[in-house]
Copies of this chain bind each other. A is one copy, B any other.
Amino acid sequence: MSLNITIRDVAARAGVSVNTVSRALNNRPDVSAGTRERVLRVAERLGYTANGVARDLRAKRTSAIGVVVADVANPFFAAVVKGIEEVAHASGYSIVLCNTNEDYTKEQEAVGLMLRKRVDGLLLVPCQKHPGTVMLLQRRRLPFVLIARRFDDLPTPYVVNDDARGGFLATDYLIRQGHRRVLFVNGPKEIWSAQQREAGYLRALSEHGITPDPSLLRVTTAMMDGSYRTMLEVLDEGVSFTAVYAFSDLLAMGVLKALRERGRKVPQDVAVVGHDDIDFVEILETPLTTVDMSKSRLGREATRILIEQLQKPLPLEQAQVVLEPRLVMRGSA
Contact = CB atoms under 8 A, between A and B. Distances in A.
Interface residues of A, number: 53
Contacts of A139: 47
Contact of A118 (B51, B82, B95, B283): B51
Interface hub of A49, A81, A283 (most chain B Cβ within 10 A): A283
B52 A118 contact: yes
Contact of A72 (B71, B81, B279): B81
A99 interface: yes
Given A73-B78, A78-B72, A141-B1, A96 B99 contact: no
Contacts of A285: 260, 284-286
Contacts of A95: 96-98
A99 B299 CA distance: 14
Given A75-B73, A280-B280, A97 B116 contact: no
B75 A82 contact: no
Interface in A60-117: 62, 64, 67, 71-73, 75, 78-79, 81-82, 85-86, 89, 94-99, 112-113, 115-117
Interface string A30-70: 00000000000000000101111110110000101001000
Contact of A82 (B72, B94, B224, B256): B72
A174 interface: no
Given A78-B73, A85-B99, A116 B257 contact: no
A253 interface: yes
B113 A94 contact: yes
A3 interface: yes
